[in-house]
Chains A and B, each alone.
Chain A
Amino acid sequence: MSALDNKKSSYIKKNKKVSFTFDGKKYYGYKGDTIASALLRNNVRLIARSFKYHRPRGIYTCGIEEPNAIVQILNEHNEPNARATVKQIYEGMKVDSQNRWPSLNLDIGSINNLLSPMFSAGFYYKTFMGPKGFWKKIYEPIIRRTAGLGKPPKEFRSKSIHQNHNVDIVIVGAGLSGLIAARKLIDTEYDVLLLEQDSFLGGVLKNSNKVEQINNQEVNKWIKETERLIKISTNIKILKNSLVTSYNFTNHLIALEDKFAGKAIDTSKSELTLHKIRTTHTILANGHIERFISFRNNDLPGVMLASSFEKYIHRYGVIPETNPVIFTNNSTTVTLLKSLVDLGHKPVAYVDARDKNKIGKKLLTYLKKNNIPFYFNAEIEGCDGNKKVETISIRKNKNKIIKVKSSMLCVSGGINPDIHLFTQSKGLVKWDDKLITFKPDVPFQNTITIGSVSGNYNYEKTHDEINNKLSFLKPKNIEMKIKINDTNNFNIKELWETRHEKKSNWSKSFIDLHNDVTTKDLKQAVVEGFDRIEHLKRFTTNSMGTDQGKISSINSLGIVSKILKKEISEVGTTTYRPPYAPLSFSAIAGRNTYEFYDPQRKTPIHNWHINNKAIFEDVGQWKRPWYFKEHDSETMHQAVQRESKQTRQTAGILDGSTLGKIEIKGKDALEFMNLMYTNPFTKMKPMTSRYALMLGEDGMIKDDGIVCKFNDKHFIATTTSGGAPKVLADMEEYLQTEWPHLQVYVNSITEQFTTFNISGPKSRDIMSKVFTEVDFSNENFPFMTFKVFNYKGTEARIMRASFTGELGYEIYITPNHGLELWKRIFHHGNVFDLVPYGTETMHLLRAEKGYVVIGQETDGTVTPIDLNFNWMIGKKKKDFIGKRSLTRSDTAREDRKQLVGIVPLDKSEFIEEGQHVVERERLPNPIKTPVEYLGHVSSSYHSPNLNHCIAMAMIKGGNKLMGKKLFISSSYGTKNIAVEVVSPVFIDPENKRLTS
């Protein structure tokens, strides 16, 4: 029989029809329906194809635990892997099935099922091993197409926000126990947050009629009254559609709120809110999840968990099948049976694995009275049918098989407290022999479990339990009289899997529906030695799907314990990790996406750069001009060659505002600087500057910059553009933790000064025109000195320094005057052919001069000695950071990689950065034994001023290899490029340009 409406639905709005499409076909449901309940209403049973074998699958559950019915929502940026059992429909929703081709009904991938021996346990590890190259070209594309889930979202811009809460108590779950707890806390001194994953309160009270009355009134009335009382209370806030996904340390919980549950998404608003909750106490009232039983073809569309079937009747008002078969090993199915009978229907058979006295007289009489075919001590052997359940085989009296016809089979293998969150919180669980499941034992944090999550399945006793467990909070006394519909006797019998009769490749008994893991796979894994549960999980991929084995993971422990002949408590569980249910990346990202992902830092000259066709480069968070296009068709290479050439011929200017600047002040500033840097600063004259190096305690170069000494109590140091925060933090660290006796204050002044680097033979002429009051003559303003002067009422500083090897000045000016000054420099500079240049030209020019870049020539394994920077080391200083390490046996080695220059013998050839320096002309093909390599090329440019390639390299014992012929590998082939080792200073080795 097909689906029918239950007129007494507790939730669905029958007056509001909603249309939606599934695989292009239009269906109707009601407002409040999930995709699953609406499809069941329309007698659609085939929903998906399975992960590996592409077997037909239907709706197995009625909630978050769904392993089969996962779908793609086309009109929500193609959102994949939505659970049809959770996602509510709305007008115009477009839903597609996943993992099928060409169609759900005719799926070619289902051939995998016949090839299933190949897909057995560990097949990922065994099958795709070789030959070489097969993975990328053959295996991966095939796996990507046939195995798997939905397609990734399209044109997706995340819209979610984060919200923080600080409360005293969080109640997770607004079912019977959660609502009782909340009601007891109304108008107490506590701030309480009540979180409910559904769009309404009530949980189990709405999922079934297991609880008949509360305080002599209908349960729905009691829920409404409770919700009203909570809403008018001043201390409790309810968050619906909010699923707690993580329970972290220090009572920190994450809940995901779906702002558009049951509605079409308004793209101008945020779709999801990620609630970050800090609480003092957590009350877990998140209930239980039913588990299944493995039998032959327990995955056929039509097999459904019994309590889910019950949920569809009571919550959604749809009876998926009026005459199903019920298969159970416990008493929770009694209310389902009664619900069906009360609605005028009758199961085809009631199959109970237990013997008569466990079942109880009451139920036996009921079954007899209502003339329901009844089998005790019996089990389902399996079921058969074409893409749906048609025939169900019942095994009676151990061997006799009876076949009955029905399109649905409701299964209950018992219920598990939903311990996921409790174990995430690091609480310990223990095995309960009576309930045949794990339940919470010792909490690790301030966690209280109440109701079925605590292993209390007796609704009559829920209130006593809560009174008892919450007494320390001194909550209010309330009246609670709970009348239940049937027995409170759970009386479960252990049953994980039934015995198979048939054997064909199509017959399978599944333990994990989502990942297509069979009970046979578990056995095989144990045989192959994966007898530890964590290993077994990974080897078989059991419970590793998006459902995380919510209806089956305890079953797998049961089956494995039988194979291993161990107690289940000895087998233990695998680790429950957050999130509890799939959490979209967009929710995690929140607002931190695209341009908001990381701040962009722009200099005061930024807009001028844009107007002058600058192409930008990211340096840390800074946007720096990389090069300037003279005209639109100019290539980067052309631009850089032009900028470099012109700077050496006339003058060039670089916006160096991003350079880190740190001011060091205080009585002991000199002593501090002597400790922080390798250089000696004591004898340095005031108003002079010096190129300085900072090391780690391991002796490796950490940062460089120019240090300006005003006097012994005042220094300003520049750092690399990316290194400024780290250098400042290091200075603070040493001041606070190693030398607290030093009176020194360090402060970042990077943003306080806009910096320009002007260099080239004409730079003095230009500077003299711009700053007419400053004497730029060599005698009055020699190399590595600086002057401070008043510029329009602000303090400005000009330093004579150069990173190009040409005559050069650095200008430090308040950012407010930055752009204006920049323009003024060009106003005077145009006559001298002043050219703006970017970072690429800066790198080229410094390479021509043999200047290193920290992070390019160095990589954290380079000492100053390796760079021939011995002259920068204050050997007479008693101490500085890293000093002792410069004489460690390793740093003192003579065959360390040292900085050299490299030029190709054939001047037309170009060397690539990052290539290896070797001694042989040709590399063997294929390379069978490692080729000894001497080092690597750290920088390489085509020098427009020398008109050939120049490179810098770090090579073993480089200082002793001057003039030697070596080879550089290339990305083009096995033939290497012949080069000569030379000094890394290619231009003006006598520093004439610099100092004249």
Chain B
Amino acid sequence: MILINCPYCGERDQSEFSNGGEAHVARPENSDSLNDKDWGQYVFYRDNPKGIFYERWVHSHGCRKWFNAVRNTATDEILKIYKVDEKTPKIDSFTNTLKTPSGEPKVGSGNFTVKK
């Protein structure tokens, strides 16, 4: 189980938090003028990359505050945590540690997904 450093409470067990999916998906202000496709893009589509991912978390069994995190979805490492009103860190400030396209090394599987 991973540890998450709530910017308001400090490091806590993952079980205290809920994941809120991709971060920085702004709710369109002018939804009336959007066509179905663009609106649908906002409602139904989210990225799900293997590697660096910007996502939202809420300390649901704690201070109930929302915040953002940058996580490597392949390794579960949380690379950065920042408040909702803080500046979005640039993606090139993180090194993506995956080497092969799928992230799988040649040998075996499962536990071996992480190849440094």
Chain A residues proximal to chain B, CB less than 8 Å: 248-250, 252, 278, 423-424, 426-428, 442, 444, 533-534, 569-570, 572-577, 697-698, 729, 732-733, 736-738, 740, 878-879, 883-885, 888-889
- Quote the shortest CB–CB distance from A246 to chain B (angstroms): 10
Partner of A740, one of B56, B85, B106, B108: B85
- Quote the shortest CB–CB distance from B91 to chain A (angstroms): 21
With CB as the reference atom, state the residue of chain B lying closest to A697.
B43
* Contact residues, B54-83 vs A (CB, 8 A): 56, 58, 60, 64-66, 75-76
CA A250 to CA B85, docked complex, whole Å: 28
Judge whether B39 and A885 touch: CB under 8 Å.
yes
Whether B20 sits at the interface, judged by CB under 8 Å, is: yes
Judge whether B31 and A732 touch: CB under 8 Å.
no
With CB as the reference atom, state the residue of chain A lying closest to B78.
A250
Judge whether B108 and A574 touch: CB under 8 Å.
yes
Chain B contributes a number of interface residues (CB within 8 A of A) equal to 38
Whether B45 sits at the interface, judged by CB under 8 Å, is: no
Whether B90 sits at the interface, judged by CB under 8 Å, is: no
Chain B residues closer than 8 Å to A442, beta-carbon distance: 116
Judge whether A576 and B111 touch: CB under 8 Å.
yes
- Quote the shortest CB–CB distance from B36 to chain A (angstroms): 5
Judge whether A732 and B64 touch: CB under 8 Å.
yes
Judge whether B36 and A889 touch: CB under 8 Å.
yes
Chain B residues closer than 8 Å to A574, beta-carbon distance: 108-110
Judge whether A884 and B84 touch: CB under 8 Å.
no
Chain B residues closer than 8 Å to A252, beta-carbon distance: 1
Partner of B43, one of A278, A573, A576, A698: A698
Judge whether B112 and A737 touch: CB under 8 Å.
no
Partner of A736, one of B84, B106, B107: B84
With CB as the reference atom, state the residue of chain B lying closest to A739.
B27
Chain A residues closer than 8 Å to B36, beta-carbon distance: 888-889
CA A572 to CA B110, docked complex, whole Å: 11
With CB as the reference atom, state the residue of chain B lying closest to A735.
B66
CA A534 to CA B109, docked complex, whole Å: 8
- Quote the shortest CB–CB distance from A839 to chain B (angstroms): 28
Chain A residues closer than 8 Å to B2, beta-carbon distance: 249-250
Judge whether B31 and A884 touch: CB under 8 Å.
yes
* Contact residues, B75-102 vs A (CB, 8 A): 75-76, 84-85
Chain A at the B interface: mostly helix, strand, loop or mixed?
Answer: loop
Judge whether A575 and B44 touch: CB under 8 Å.
no
25 intermolecular pairs with C-beta atoms under 8 Å apart: A249-B1, A250-B1, A250-B2, A427-B111, A428-B114, A428-B115, A428-B116, A442-B116, A444-B116, A533-B108, A534-B109, A570-B107, A572-B107, A572-B109, A574-B109, A575-B111, A697-B42, A698-B44, A729-B60, A732-B64, A733-B66, A736-B65, A740-B84, A879-B29, A884-B28
Chain B residues closer than 8 Å to A884, beta-carbon distance: 28, 31-32, 34, 39
CA A286 to CA B44, docked complex, whole Å: 48
Judge whether B112 and A888 touch: CB under 8 Å.
no
With CB as the reference atom, state the residue of chain A lying closest to B85.
A740
Chain A residues closer than 8 Å to B1, beta-carbon distance: 248-250, 252
Chain A residues closer than 8 Å to B44, beta-carbon distance: 698
Judge whether B43 and A577 touch: CB under 8 Å.
no
Q: A428-B112, A442-B116 are in contact. Are A249 and B76 (CB under 8 A)?
A: yes
Judge whether B43 and A575 touch: CB under 8 Å.
no
CA A740 to CA B85, docked complex, whole Å: 9
Whether B10 sits at the interface, judged by CB under 8 Å, is: no
Closest 6 CB pairs of A and B: A575-B110, A572-B108, A884-B31, A572-B107, A423-B111, A736-B66
Judge whether B107 and A426 touch: CB under 8 Å.
no
- Quote the shortest CB–CB distance from B33 to chain A (angstroms): 10
Q: A249-B1, A698-B43, A884-B32 are in contact. Are A428 and B105 (CB under 8 A)?
A: yes
- Quote the shortest CB–CB distance from A171 to chain B (angstroms): 21
* Contact residues, B1-55 vs A (CB, 8 A): 1-3, 20, 27-29, 31-32, 34, 36, 39-40, 42-44
With CB as the reference atom, state the residue of chain B lying closest to A425.
B111
Q: A577-B110, A737-B66 are in contact. Are A250 and B3 (CB under 8 A)?
A: yes
Judge whether A424 and B64 touch: CB under 8 Å.
no
CA A298 to CA B115, docked complex, whole Å: 38
Chain B residues closer than 8 Å to A427, beta-carbon distance: 111
Chain B residues closer than 8 Å to A534, beta-carbon distance: 109-110
CA A780 to CA B108, docked complex, whole Å: 78
CA A577 to CA B111, docked complex, whole Å: 8
Judge whether A424 and B111 touch: CB under 8 Å.
yes
Chain A residues closer than 8 Å to B39, beta-carbon distance: 884-885, 888
CA A729 to CA B20, docked complex, whole Å: 11
Chain A residues closer than 8 Å to B31, beta-carbon distance: 879, 883-884
